[in-house]
Amino acid sequence: MTVKAVSYKNEQPGDDIYVTLTKDDTDVEFCLEYYLNGSDEEFYDLVGNLEEGATVDVECFLYWYEGADGHLTAVVVK
């Protein structure tokens, strides 16, 4: 997938990160929820510093909150 956008909830690090990825002209929204990330600062920083246009493989789990939401659990930058 290709990184389209990365943003922070409340527009500042230390909160949830929202990532929009695209594949075959389809945008998919993912989230890295800060409180579910635990103490993995390296992963949090990796996701927060993804650059637009980068190609990535991702793993996530789906949960339901006003619709299906993907919570990122792994990201590999190609």
Assign 63 a pLDDT band (cuts: 50, 70, 90).
confident
In total, how many domains does the chain have? 1
Distance CA 40, CA 49 (A): 14
Supply the range of the domain harboring residue 14.
Answer: 2-77
- pLDDT tens digits along 17-61: 999 999 999 999 999 999 888 788 999 999 999 999 999 999 999
Stated pTM of the model = 0.90
Task: Give the Cβ contact number of residue 57 at 10 Å.
Answer: 10
